[in-house]
Structure 1
Amino acid sequence: MLTSTVHSKSPGSASNTSSTYDEARTQNQNQSRLSFFHEESSHPITLKFEDLAYTIKSQSGQDCNLGLPNSNSTRTLLSGVSGVVRPGEMLAMLGPSGSGKTTLISALAGRLPGKVLGCITYGGQPFTSSIKRKTGFVAQDDVLYPHLTVIETLSYAALLRLPNNLTREEKIQQAEIIITELGLTACRDCIIGSPLIRGVSGGERKRVSIGQEMLVNPSLLLLDEPTSGLDSTTALRIMATLKGLARGGRSVVTTIHQPSSRLYWMFDKVVVLSDGCPIYSGHTGRVMEYFSSIGHVPGFNFVNPADFLLDLANDVSPNRNQDEQPQDHQGRLDYIGDYISIKQFLISSYKTNLQHLVKDDIYQHAEDTTIGIQGTSPVKSCDKQWTTSWWMQFKVLLKRGLRERRHESYSRLRIFQVMSVSVLSGLMWWHSDLSQLQDQVGLLFFFSIFWGFYPLSNAIFTFPQERPMLIREYSSGMYRLSSYYFARMAGDLPMELVLPTIFVTVTYWMGGLKPSLVTYLLTIVIILFNVLVSQGLGLALGAILDLKQATTLSSVIMLVFLLAGGYYVRMIPPFISWLKYISFSHYCYKLLVEVQYTKNEVYECGIGVHCKVFDFPGIKFLGVGNIWWDVAALGVMLVGYRLIAYAALRMIKFH
């Protein structure tokens, strides 16, 4: 059985830095004893990237950096970036905001849409599904389910990502070990939280995100701004954890905005970007020597190298008079010209003095010869794309979805909404009978409209809210899209069908509808059928459009369905009468009428005069009598809307 040892720091430790390094060493020692990490993930990977370039179409015809007119409609985000990180090394990407750090690390993680020029290799191979399983990627924003606890988050990730040759108990124990290794024991049973829900701290959230990637014992770990928004002590602990992972034989690459000097000296190599172009790439200890050799010396001796590098990347040179300001229009042009010359000087100096050294480092070992992305045939891999079966993914995702969304479907506010409308409608139609046929028909139409609009408006938010999580997990190869989709559909059944059943039960008997158990049960079945069809339409709209567009369009659709439902307008003009055939509310209303009344049933249409119910004007023009056609129409909509939603999810660019 596996064990992990937790070492406590003595009060007399020399400094925070040394104690943090001790923690990193301890974590590294413990990490090496985790035999649950499967062998495939322990294979070392040397990451090499050479002459990377990436451009996008600019939405305006102006240069995004200078604000000057530009006839070129493209914007260069990366240009000529090269580097290498080997097992045991930690590489940092420095640069100001907008310099291309996130673009570069996304390209290295294989999550950048479009075409990336240049060569990227992982242990001499291009990016494959096998490499993806050995690579961990932690985005800048922590995308986690807010209502799951820390142990639940890591346990579900372990069940999805670890291979089938491990038992469920071994996978859960793996999550427990990660919690211990990352110092999350104190918050083990705390929910993750969100900006509106109190949960774990920012540093703990970041460690949970890192822990999800550590579960598969990645040989290559990529992190985008792991210290963003954290205090210096928490940032130091996280970087010490990453340093320990690197010492365990992993290649670690991270972007970082403005590290302290303590953080800076943890890195083995650094790549400095300015507007997508490299101005330095190499070992951290040679930075000051290099820039001094090209005439850029800090103004004082004790300076944080990271601050000095960011000043240079921001075109703040110690050789420039910072108080100098342009006085007129011509001076502004001169100032801009000076800006361009300094930037070009740093870039050209890199190309002249460093670029060949970086490429020599890339080709240092013959066994690491790179294979370019372009002009090569893909490497065939006999590895399976998925580590777990479809059925296992379905079960885990279903259970996770039920635990995460139980607060949403059965929230007090939602229960209050449904029950208040149910009781109010029951009181308004209190004990109606056939003598009030118009009112009874109105109640049936209210059923179809309310349980058409309510589930539609709720379902619209499903995929827009879960899209960031879906993109992150699917891009990591955690599960198939089909297993996620069917688990989501199955999880909605108990969540979405309980409240309509209670609603109909209360209102049906209070409203005085036919006191027949069979009719009551058929009414519930029809309403639930309508709920599923309406929900499918909402899912399709949410998957195809953004939230604002989907909400607006759903309001228009429900207004059209309301008018074409057959209750308000009986004689619809022929040129627009086709609208009722695409309205699920129309078919639901017809079915409710057909099960509520029989063909020979009569009502008192005058004093001593009885008329057939189906001759009532509000029913006669519905065209009742084709009950199975109505069921078939709803069935086509039920399947069709969900197929559209699935196809729309398939079209998402999972990068």
Structure 2
Amino acid sequence: MKENINKSRKKSTEFSYVNELALESLSTNSLSNKNEENNDESLNQNETLTKLNPNEEIIINFQEENKKDEIMKQPKILLMSKSDEYKKYENLENFSIPKYITLSWSHLTIKASIGSKNKSLFNLCRKSKRFETILNEVKGIVEPGEVLALMGPSGSGKTTLLNALNFSVKNSLSVDGKIMLNGCQVDPIKMSMVSCYIQQDDLFFGTLTVKEHLVFQAMLRMDRSLSQDTKLRRVYQVLKEFNLEKRANVKIGIPGRKKGISGGEKRRLTFASEILTDPPVLFCDEPTSGLDSKMAKSIISYLKKLAENGKTVICTIHQPSSEIFSMFDKICLLSQSRVAFFGTRENALNFFENNLYKKCPPLTNPADFYMDLLGVDVNDSANSQNEIRNYCEKFSRSEYNIELDKRIENVKPEYFSSPSNFSPYKSNWCVQMSCLIQRSFFNYIRNHKVVLTDILMVIVTAMLGGLIFFQTGEKDKNTCHYNQQSIKNVIYAIFYTVTVSVIFSIMGAVMAFPPEIPIYYREHNASVYRSDTYYLSKLIVELPVYIILPAIHAVILYYMFGFDCDKNSFAVFLFTDILISNAAFSLGHVLSVLSPDANLAVSLVAPTIAIQMLFSGFFLTLTSRTPEFLKLIRYSSVFNYGFDLLMANHWENVEVILCEYDIELLCAVTGGSILNQEKIRLKNKSAYIIMLVFL
């Protein structure tokens, strides 16, 4: 196997999809009718693509077929001679990615900064930091065709090493050492070009189907130079490889809420999402976690199959069964921040028996045997740690470590460069926006209960408020007459309108991001899409909702309050209510983004609304005694601008208010006098609208 891989490495280092792109880009007119007829007879559609002779290539031409059971387009295989037109596509990119990659690392040390236990004033003023070593002088090498298992007790640094190798470590960690691809030191950009990271948790939008999820991933992860047909064909191929064809149109599901595919199918879908780009190097974090023995075996078998096809596979695994353990070509045993052994499974048994004098008992799983030896005994921690350090020291002086150093040094350097205008994103801005809008739309519209609940709650609260403040004024030939008692009812009704709009919008927005934050971080860190496209797509999908719902709310309240005396005021009332809702919606987004989880976001809503409401001008009028810094808060209050604008809209055209009291000085006789009492200036109406739009 390795000999075949080495021969192939010398022949070609082209990106695996360049040939497909080139062949698809050729005009089908160049195919002769004679060749087409011969191939239709001689080649079956289910045959594996093979190279017939050095001068001929096989290409795939899709033909649409209307079959009920068909998930994707079925390929029709045609034969075509290699021409000069094809040759110009051979160097389509100004860089190439090796098909087979050897990953090696040496002198890899990872440290984490920790706070000082001494809280004295002297230590608080010092800028120096204390560091804890997580991994110390770690080394290793994995070649194409091999599956490496990173093993060790909990806390030994398996996942940290895996994250370091694919440049996914946290910023708080300090990483020193060399990470090399084909003998050349690598940077994060090059590593992202050749690898994928299959993480432990399965994160999906449960409202999407399996096929929709994979199509989304294919459109954004696969190279932008590839045609849509190529990407769809790859989706179909991956569905078949992971035995997900029959589940292609089934929704993924949300645990505890919506039934969907099984846990094992979700794990396979996670693999399928990353395998779409056909990367030469695969990093897998606990690929068998949470799976039954049969499913775990099938996952590792698939990794083994990928390795046999020339992939380089590195995965962490805690305590595999003996059957799964036998599938790994190499193991790296970690304990106490160091390497206790690195090499083949056979050499591991020899090392522990001959160098450490620890023989694996018959009928015992070697993985369990190693974990027992390398795990710290809580009852005798000091002696156990000293013994483990002794194991690591003996390995560093053993012939196995010397051989490991030689293999790392003897890797023949094979350089590959990234283009000067390289972008980490495989799709352009417009494609990202299109795909994200579609996904966000499906995710929202398929949450039927949420949509119906939102509509129902808006109608119920509007009807309730309308009944409480029903017909605040007396109508006479489309003219409203107000007395002194109805003034307060109108003011309370307007404040109720603002309050309900703010609360509904801010609560809806606060819950928008926290459920998606883990998915966003994973996909964004994998350079699937940009931050701005993600936020804008959410905004575009949810914006119509926060126009329609406030409109329903405004129409019900406006006519039930009896504000329809002045026909010209309805448009401003409706427009203002929509502006209030969207300003509160933006404020909710801020709280949502700043909060790591939904619970914290919701807990911030109450104090935020309280502060906004307090400075609305409804409860109190700010005086000269009010501190200046508190007065400034009013200018950021949605309640302030919304309440003042609705008040001005209602009262500016009210010319007469009845006074039922004997003392005229206690009566507000016009709408303008009410606005003066509330210190609302009509000339500021435009400013109120501008500030609501800004907020």
Please, what TM-score do these two structures have when normalized by structure 1? 0.82
- Cα offset for 1:59? 5.5
Query: Shift of residue 103 of structure 1?
Result: 0.8
- What is the deviation of 1:420? 1.7
CA RMSD of aligned residues (A): 3.0
Specify which of 605, 630, 633 is matched with residue 554 of structure 1. Answer: 605
Pick closer, same or farther for the CA change 1:628–1:389 going to 2, 3 Å.
same
Aligned residues of 2:432 and 2:529 also touching (Cα < 8 A): yes
1:458 matched to 2:458? no
Counting aligned pairs with the same residue, the percent is: 26
Task: Give per-residue Cα distances to partners, 1:509-548, cap 9 Å, x unaligned.
Answer: 2221225554323222212212222122222222234345
Out of 145, 155, 160, which is 1:88 matched to? 145
1:481-518 alpha-carbon deviations (Å, 9 max, x no partner): 22112112212212333222212222222221225554
Residues 495, 643 of structure 2: 8 Å contact kept: yes
Q: Residues 537 and 296 (structure 1 numbering): CA distance in 2 closer, same or farther, change over 3 Å?
A: farther
Aligned pair partner of 1:55 in 93, 111, 114: 111
CA distance in structure 2 between the partners assigned to 1:138 and 1:618 by the alignment: 65
Query: Do structure 1's residue 44 and structure 2's residue 100 form an aligned pair?
Result: yes
The 2-side partners of 1:246 and 1:516 are apart by 76
**1:138 paired to 2:198:** yes
* Counterpart position of 1:525: 575
Matched, 1:602 2:656: yes
Q: Tell me the alpha carbon deviations over residues 236-279 of structure 1, each in whole angstroms, 9 at most, x when there is no partner.
A: 11111111111121111111111111111111111111133210
Provide the rounded CA distance (Å) in 1 between the counterparts of 2:283 and 2:47.
27
Q: Deviations over 1:54-79 (max 9, x none)?
A: 111336849xxxxxxxx994322211
Name which of 202, 207, 219 aligns with 2:263. 202
Does the aligned pair in 1 maintain the 2:498–2:639 contact within 8 Å?
Answer: yes
Q: Alpha-carbon deviations, 1:317-372, whole Å to 9, x = none? A: xxxxxxxx9xxxxxx7xx34321221111110121113322221212232269x9x
Q: Check the 8 A contact 2:107/2:178 in 1, yes or no.
A: yes
Give, as a single letter, the amino acid of the residue that structure 2 aligns with 1:182: F
**Once structures 1 and 2 are overlaid, which stretch shifts more, 498-507 or 615-624?**
615-624
* CA deviations over 1:544-567 (Å, ceiling 9, x no partner): 343455444432221122122122
Alpha-carbon distance, 1:419 to partner: 2.2
Within 5 Å, give how 1:146-185 maps onto structure 2. Answer: 146-185=206-245
CA deviation vs aligned residue, 1:396-451 (integer Å, no higher than 9, x gap): 11111111122458433333322221221121122222522321221221121222
Q: Which shifted more, 522-531 or 595-604? A: 595-604
Distance 1:426 1:390, change over 3 A: same
Change (3 A) 1:632 1:144: same
What SS class does the counterpart of residue 411 from structure 1 fall into? helix
CA contact under 8 A between 1:133 and 1:216: conserved in structure 2? no
Report whether the alignment pairs 1:229 with 2:290. Answer: yes
Residue 591 of structure 1 corresponds to 645
Matched, 1:347 2:361: no
Cα distance 1:43–1:518, how it changes in 2: closer, same or farther (>3 A)?
farther
Match of 2:538 among 476, 480, 488: 488
Q: How does 1:362-511 map to 2 (within 5 A)?
A: 362-367=408-413, 381-408=420-447, 410-433=450-473, 434-435=481-482, 436-511=486-561
1:613 aligns with 2:658: no
1:564 alignment partner in structure 2: 615
Provide the secondary structure at the position in 1 that maps to 2:513: helix
Which residue pairs with 2:62 in the alignment? none
Distance 1:130 1:529, change over 3 A: farther
Distance 1:384 1:546 in 2: 29
How far 1:315 moved relative to its partner? Answer: 4.4
The one-letter amino acid paired with 1:459 is A
Deviates more, 1:493-502 or 1:396-405: 493-502
Report 1 or 2 for greater relative contact order, CA contacts < 8 Å, sequence distance ≥ 6. 1
Unaligned runs of 5+ in 2: 1-23, 25-43, 49-76, 80-91, 119-127, 474-480
* Alignment partners' CA distance in 2, 1:54 and 1:299: 32
* SS of the residue 1:367 aligns to: coil
Work out the CA distance in 1 between the residues paired with 2:129 and 2:536: 46
What's the counterpart of residue 40 of structure 2? Answer: none
SS at match of 1:405: helix
Q: CA deviation at 1:457?
A: 2.5
Q: Aligned-pair distance for 1:381?
A: 4.5
Distance in 1, matches of 2:234 and 2:582, equals: 39
Aligned pair partner of 1:257 in 318, 331, 352: 318
* CA-to-aligned-CA distance 1:558-588 (integer Å, 9 cap, x gap): 1122122122223544424333222111101
Cα distance in 2 for partners of 1:98, 1:463 equals: 31
- Judged with a 3 Å threshold, the aligned counterparts in structure 2 of structure 1 residues 349 and 190 are, in CA distance, closer, same or farther, namely same
Instruction: Name the CA distance, whole Å, in 1 between partners of 2:514 and 2:228.
Output: 32
**275 and 186 in structure 1: CA distance in 2 versus 1, 3 angstrom threshold:** farther
Q: Which runs of 5+ in 1 are unaligned?
A: 7-32, 63-70, 317-324, 326-331, 372-377, 638-655
| Partner Cα separation in structure 1 for residue 586 and residue 631 of structure 2 | 24
Query: How far 1:102 moved relative to its partner?
Result: 1.0
- Conserved in 2, the CA contact under 8 Å of 1:603 and 1:611? yes
Query: Counterpart in 2 of 1:105?
Result: 162
Distance (Å, rounded) in 2 between the aligned partners of 1:588 and 1:235: 58
Question: Alpha-carbon deviation of 1:612?
Answer: 0.9
- Counterpart-to-counterpart distance in 1, 2:567 and 2:110: 67
> Which residue identity is paired with 2:286?
E
Higher Cα radius of gyration: 2
Assess, with a 3 A threshold, how the Cα gap between structure 1 residues 458 and 41 changes in structure 2: closer, same or farther. farther
Matched residue, 1:68: none
Relative to structure 2, which stretch is displaced further, 223-232 or 429-438? 429-438
Q: Retained in 2: the 8 A contact 1:53–1:117?
A: yes
Letter in 2 for 1:514: D
1:189 counterpart SS class: coil
